[in-house]
Amino acid sequence: MKRTKIGLFATGFAVAAMALAGCGSGGSNDKPASDDANQSDSASEGGGESDSDTYIALVSKGFQHQFWQAVKAGADQAAEEFGVTVSFEGPDKETEVDKQIAMLETALAKNPSAIGLAALDSQSAIPLLEQAQAAGIPIIAFDSGVESDIPVTTVATDNHAAAAEAAKQMAEQINHKGEVAMVVHDQTSGSGQGRRDGFKDYMEENEPDITIVDIQYGNGDQATSADITKAMISSHPNLAGIYASNEGSAIGMVQGYKEAGKKAGDLVLIGFDSGKAQTDAIREGLMYGAVTQNPVGIGYETVKAAIAAINGETLEKTIDPGFYFYTKDNIDDEKIAAVLYE
């Protein structure tokens, strides 16, 4: 659980930096999209084992957060490298399970060569995944798994281990005693459950003098997470720290913290993911640190795994692109900077 090194995708840090740079271009932090603001396609000729007739549909949890734009950048990079066509779409908000299911249904109707899914709900998509399986369309789960053995692999951070690292860092910063609270993005997705339970389990197993006094769910929404944070601070005057489990939750946590009249150093704040608002908060000292995933690697490895599945290759059940814990002391290190998505 104490692992902090990251397993980068095949082409290494240079690819990550290149893809991240592409993700940051333009006013929307993305390459030009189609008429649907929440969907885009990428294609290229040559450079891989497949061909341009191969179409891979990726349905993510969202589209607007910088995290998903970074995942898309990795998928686009792999599409170009391997010469396939990739579409990438997701709902406006990470609470819109029905909208995601409709997107998955539309993707399935296009008879793609493979489908990648970052499920908002680990059970709701299963009937459609069964249809895909019956049609011989391989499913790659990414970011979050589903409660089914239908996906041929799951490309995701070990969320339990990453959250445990966040808990370990929190415990050290509050001198292994006191009250802490959690702002979790959801309780239905695999990532939400893993990032909640990893933090909670570590504290229960290793820190007898730390008490988790509150766990609230903000759906990854910044405004909701800000309100939750203010309520936590008001309800628990002895609070020593707060942990937030994704980008929207963490940004909302910082906002609520400031609106509650708190300043740097009053409480220990620890987040998950990056994005400019969060990295700025860490540089300013408002947030102590955060776990960063390798979102470009997630996108890249999802497409790479899809191509392998299309070609009949056997895949490991999980592909973990890894994670780092970063603070203002190491945020500018080369290995960290390569996986931040500002």
Q: What is the pTM of this model?
A: 0.74
Q: What is the pLDDT of residue 108?
A: 96
Taking Cα atoms as reference points, which of 134, 137, 93 lies closest to residue 117? 137
* Residue 275's pLDDT band (cuts 50, 70, 90): confident
* Residue 17's pLDDT band (cuts 50, 70, 90): very low
150-190: pLDDT as tens digits:
999 999 999 999 999 999 999 999 999 999 999 999 998 88
Q: What is the pLDDT of residue 147?
A: 85
Mean pLDDT of 41-66: 70
Share of residues in the chain with pLDDT > 70 (%)? 85
Contact at 8 Å (CB) between 235 and 226? no
Q: Which residue has the higher pLDDT, 34 or 332?
A: 332
